[in-house]
Homo-oligomer: A and B are copies of this chain.
Amino acid sequence: MAFSEDTSTNIDTYDVVQAFKNSQLCKVCESENARMNFSVLCCPPCKVFFRRNARMDLNTNQCIYDGHCDVTVKSRQICRYCRFKKCLSVGMQRELIRASHGPQNRLRVNNKQLATKNSLTNISRNRIIFSLDVIPTLNLLRNDRSLLTVEQWSLLSNVVNVYDAKSPVANVRNILSIQSSFPPKIRLKIAATNMMDIIGSQFVAVYSFVEVIPEFAAMPPSGQATLMERNILNTGGYSGVVIFREAEVCSSEVFQNGFLSKYGSQLTNEVTKVIGRTPMDLTLLKLLIPIVMFSTCSDVVIPVIKNVDRDNITREETGFLPNTKHLLKIQNIYVEIMFKYMIYRYGYDEATMRFAGIIKHFLDQSMCSKHANEVQAHAEMVETIVIESERLLISKDRIDQ
């Protein structure tokens, strides 16, 4: 008796609890049946709406009305921008969005599939068409290495090897894979720190890469420091894009969420685009990094190939601050290799087009780097790395002497 009473009481309690839950109002649209979703009480429609629009950029996408659309259960479909703005304003967190589970094993078969199960057209229509990006085949010049001298070939190969040796791509992959093995709540906690570690490693890597380039090593520490300060943003950002492409971060949910929460949706979208459009031939991009590092101004300048004789440089005194002329000569060493390599590999016409593509990509990246540096944490980190590396450069110089 006591038991049955208890049971019925429990059932009552349960019903009351359920009724209470169903009466909870959505913080976004005020409809009923709200639950906790992405850390805010809201209705299922608003939950799925938020997930689908999480990457909307409110800066470029604007409300076509006055920007103060009402968001109620009746009017919530009228303006996506104001609805999403309200989602954010009531505190829904993009960071709680997880990666896709992948396709489900559904037991239920839907009517339409049954009705059309004999026709194969549906299958072929839904098939994903794979990217048309093809690795370029070498042209007929393949066996003609006369454009690049033996010294140039070995310099090229050294640059790429050193870059890969210093590359933080394994580190990035490692951080991301460890982080994604944690449960979601903890993942969220360490996301911000990990992201800054990843970004920071890009700049440190550029420093340790450039440091061993002979022409850079031959400079006095003050000159090295000047170049670092001047060009670290572009080289670090660019190197970052190359590394992110190699590490395939765009498919990592952890990376996307971390970047989103640190840099905002606009920059995340742009960076994702830029990474996705990275030219295929990474050799060229790696070669571009020293070229940019030896720039005489922070805006990239690809100088004319003049008649450069490399001996001239070693003959000059190296005890001076880097002057424009001297820098141009160094830069030209690498520019010459780059152009000759491109012409050798792709032929003149295609080389021109590829070059245009690389420049466009670099400029896009440059814009992103500029915007990234408007984030205070980012700017401070870069500054710290520059100061630290300058200290190292000077102390090394002392040891050498």
Residues of chain A whose beta carbon lies under 8 Å from any beta carbon of chain B: 7, 10-11, 13-15, 17, 63-65, 74-75, 77-81, 95-100, 109, 111-112, 114-115, 123-124, 127, 129-136, 269-270, 272-273, 276-277, 279-280, 304, 306, 349-350, 352-357, 359-361
Contact = CB atoms under 8 A, between A and B. Distances in A.
A10 B99 contact: no
Nearest to A123: B129
A114 B75 contact: no
B132 A133 contact: no
Contact of A133 (B13, B133, B352): B133
Contact of A98 (B78, B95, B97): B78
Most interface-central of A114, A277, A356 (chain B CB within 10 A) = A356
A64 B100 contact: yes
6 contacts: A75-B95, A77-B96, A129-B133, A131-B133, A273-B304, A353-B353
Given A14-B111, A132-B279, 18 more contacts: A10-B109, A11-B115, A14-B112, A14-B115, A64-B99, A78-B98, A129-B132, A131-B131, A131-B133, A132-B356, A133-B134, A133-B357, A134-B134, A273-B304, A277-B352, A353-B353, A356-B356, A356-B359
Interface of chain A: mostly helix, strand, loop or mixed: helix
Contacts of A10: 109, 111, 114
Contact of A134 (B111, B132, B276): B132
A350 B136 contact: yes
Nearest to A93: B74
Nearest to A132: B357
A28 B285 CA distance: 54
A353 B349 contact: no
A99 B135 contact: no
Nearest to A352: B357
A269 B129 CA distance: 17
Nearest to A349: B280
A23 B354 CA distance: 58
Contacts of A134: 132-135
A117 to B, nearest CB: 9
B95 A80 contact: no
A77 B353 CA distance: 40
Contacts of A352: 277, 279, 357
B79 A99 contact: yes
Contacts of A132: 124, 127, 129, 134, 277, 279, 356-357, 360-361
Contacts of A77: 96, 98
A115 B356 CA distance: 36
Contacts of A74: 95
A136 B13 CA distance: 54
A43 B356 CA distance: 47
